[in-house]
Amino acid sequence: MKRLIILLSAVTIMSACKQTDENIITRSDIKLESDVMTPEALWAMGRIGSYAVSPDGQKVAYQVSYYSVEEDRSNTVIYLKTIDQEEAEPTLLGLGSSPTWLDDNTIAYSREGEVWRMNTRGKARKQLTQTDGQVEGFLFSPDQKRLVLVKQVPYHGVIQENPSDLPKATGRLVTDLMYRHWDHYVESIPHPFVLNLETGEEKDILEGEPFECPMEPFGGIEQLAWSPDSKKIAYTMRAKTGLEMSISTDSDIFLYDVESDESTNLCKPADYEEPRTDPTKTLATQPVNAPENLKNNVGYDQNPQFSPDGRYVAWTSMERNGYEADRMRLCIHDLEQGTKQYVTETFDSNVDAFSWASDSKTLYFLGVWHATENLYRTDLEGNVKQLTGYQADFGNLQLIDDTHLLLERHDYMHPADLYLCTVADDTIADLKQVTRENEHILSQIAAGTSEARWIKTTTGEPMHYWIIKPPHFDPTKKYPTLLFCEGGPQSPVSQFWSYRWNFMIMAAQGYVIIAPNRHGLPGFGLQWQEEISGDWTGQCMQDYLAAIDDAAANLPYVDKDRMGAVGASFGGFSVYYLAGHHEGRFKCFIAHDGAFNLEAMYTETEENWFSNWEYDDAYWNPDQTERARKTYANSPHRFVDKWDTPILCIHGEKDYRINYTQGMSAFNAARMRGIEAQLLIFPDENHWVLHPQNGILWQRTYFQWLNRWLKPTQE
């Protein structure tokens, strides 16, 4: 273990995080003693979040989050930068998030649960709301006379309120499903309030309704939009509670009239009646492009945006109810004609973000295809054109003018930065980097490389996988190699940047990574993406093995005697399954927040629509489908008798998507079988690891385990 200790201590932090008089954590001045990426260097990086372009298109205000490992906390600050001055240092405006321009010289922002404003020098600050820190999101009307505020309201529809004479009672009496979500018990829900800035009057748009807006756990202010005339608000809502909510993804876009205080559902006709279904049965038999589904928008509909002329509302739309990974389309509602159309049908993948052009006839969007997330354009007739083709991922986009957009860009070796994109004649004429948030750290680190490889699966279909190589790569050497198993189960293995599953740091520790875009992942057509539902242990597992076998046989630098498999969520499930079916390929495993016992998970997870769609049926139904029988029969826990390889299990106790008992059960089973195993359990983490010191502990434990089994001669 001596080499590991040297690796992890090869960082000298002169000042881990600068502190101002206000105790603000700002950009780290970390100094590395070698060019090896370490967990400490990773957590020293600033993380760019939301951003906004000034009305004149000259400046960008953007937020960056910084972490102090020593203090185990973080804060977010706002920077200002002139877009066309690439080399100029940004101006720090102070603590805050969600910057929004009120005019070319005034920025609104959120701080400590209130809305503030300041000038472009970070001066003349004024608090605009007085809510005792309740604001979770805000959105100004175009005329700036009103402000939408997202705040929590008490909700006891599924967890009864305790008697007033028992103020210290900690018990919760639960009466229906969806009583907890992601990482919290549901005793309040978000509602949008309209604040009249001239009179101070405030109105809850959903007053008395038991529904969420934005939808938890991930929805934010992007799920609401003002009309250009400031008279209407489009918002996202799933009008369901309890059991019905737990089995349905049917959210809709509603149009709220500020003056009349009335809402209209843009997705469904007034006489729509929802069909009743068995809550334990899958809805996966719904045909694709079913006329009734398209007419009634019965899947996820969210994130509305008005066209600049106010005639149209666009939003992202899934077709089928209960299928959270259905193809995300771009739906356009004509408010004049009352009609809907889908304008990305020729793009056989997901629309992940979009923006209207100024002509109200063109939309730009981001989507993944063949393992990269690039920029596309469509018109109201559905003519889709790809505009970029980089080996990178773009995230978020903001239109500056008819030929310029501001995009966030990242890849396996570079965290997020902002780029100015110039569109000319259907091609990208220029892509210029605007921010260099972590250049001072990246300049000290030797980067690895990534390249694509295509092979044939056992079905004869072509499959893409990424090869990530260490820095200072020597093709004459053999390297320990990791098979990366993606989660989701339908999340793309594109050029993502992660602060936990980070390929740059894995490669820096001397590992080659093989990352397959197996069956079930988007970016290769809907048919490829859907072949995993009801078949978690079928073709996708064959794809994993095909990728690692191809690497071992055809990449001379891959050491077939030193291979491991790692993954989280569905990737963790994959690891648990492969542990009983790898036939000696791997020397160790790491599973983070993975499903181990599918029968237990069916009723443990909070979003029951997921289990219904993916497993096809409840495990107790005597007439369950063949797909369901196959799913439960192939649950990883049924093959522990074949486990023979060391395994590290990681789980968060606040993970309500995949309960922490799944990880504990896997670890306990391994030890009872006499297999070398470790369990890293986090009482205060959910499906992710968010606290800085926990993040460092995660990385150190991860590499200690890998090095122990894949670098035994270097201990």
Query: Do the beta carbons of residue 212 and residue 189 sit within 8 Å?
Result: yes
Q: Which of 355, 356, 333, 337 is nearest to 266 (CA)?
A: 333
Alpha helices in 579-691 (DSSP H): 598-604, 608-615, 626-633, 660-672
- DSSP secondary structure, 548-608, as one string: HHHHHHH-TTEEEEEEEEEEETHHHHHHHHHTTT-TT--SEEEEES----HHHHHHHSS-H
Per-residue b/e over 570-596, b at no fewer than 16 CB within 10 Å? Answer: bbbbbbbbbbbebeebbbbbbbbbbbb
| Edge-first strand listing for the sheet containing 312-317 | 301-306, 312-317, 329-334, 339-342
Told to judge if 569 belongs to the known catalytic residues of this protein, a careful annotator would answer yes
Q: Per the omega criterion (within 30 degrees of 0), is the bond before 214 cis?
A: yes
Per-residue b/e over 395-415, b at no fewer than 16 CB within 10 Å? Answer: bbbbbbeeebbbbbbbbbbbb
| Beta strands in 382-511, from DSSP E residues, in sequence order | 385-386, 393-401, 404-411, 414-424, 427-433, 449-456, 462-469, 479-485
Q: Which of 455, 640, 412, 635 is nearest to 544 (CA)?
A: 455
Sorted by sequence, the CB contacts under 8 Å of residue 373 that are 6+ apart come out as 352, 366, 367, 392, 393, 394, 395, 492, 494, 495
Please report, as a single letter, which amino acid is at residue 548. I
Among 307, 569, 611, 665, which one carries the catalytic annotation? 569
Backbone angles phi, psi at 540, to 5 degrees: -65, -35
Among 535, 550, 616, 655, which one carries the catalytic annotation? 655
Look up residue 614 and give its two tokens: 């993916």
Estimate the share of the chain in helix, then strand, then coil, as percent rounded to the nearest 5.
20, 35, 45
Give the number of other Cβ atoms within 10 Å of residue 23's Cβ.
11
Query: Do the beta carbons of residue 501 and residue 568 sit within 8 Å?
Result: yes
Q: Is 209 exposed, middle or buried (0-12, 13-18, 19+ CB in 10 A)?
A: middle
Look up residue 619 and give its two tokens: 């495990």
d(C-alpha 19, C-alpha 70), whole Å: 12
Per-residue b/e over 62-98, b at no fewer than 16 CB within 10 Å? Answer: bbbebbbbeeeebbbbbbbbebeeeeeebebbbbbbb
d(C-alpha 54, C-alpha 652), whole Å: 41
Handedness of CA 505, 508, 514, 517 (dihedral sign): positive
Q: Is 123 exposed, middle or buried (0-12, 13-18, 19+ CB in 10 A)?
A: exposed
The SS3 call for residue 273 is: coil
Q: Is 392 exposed, middle or buried (0-12, 13-18, 19+ CB in 10 A)?
A: buried
What's the gap between Cα 129 and its chain centre?
30
Query: Do the beta carbons of residue 680 and residue 648 sit within 8 Å?
Result: yes
Please identify every residue annotated as catalytic. Answer: 569, 655, 687
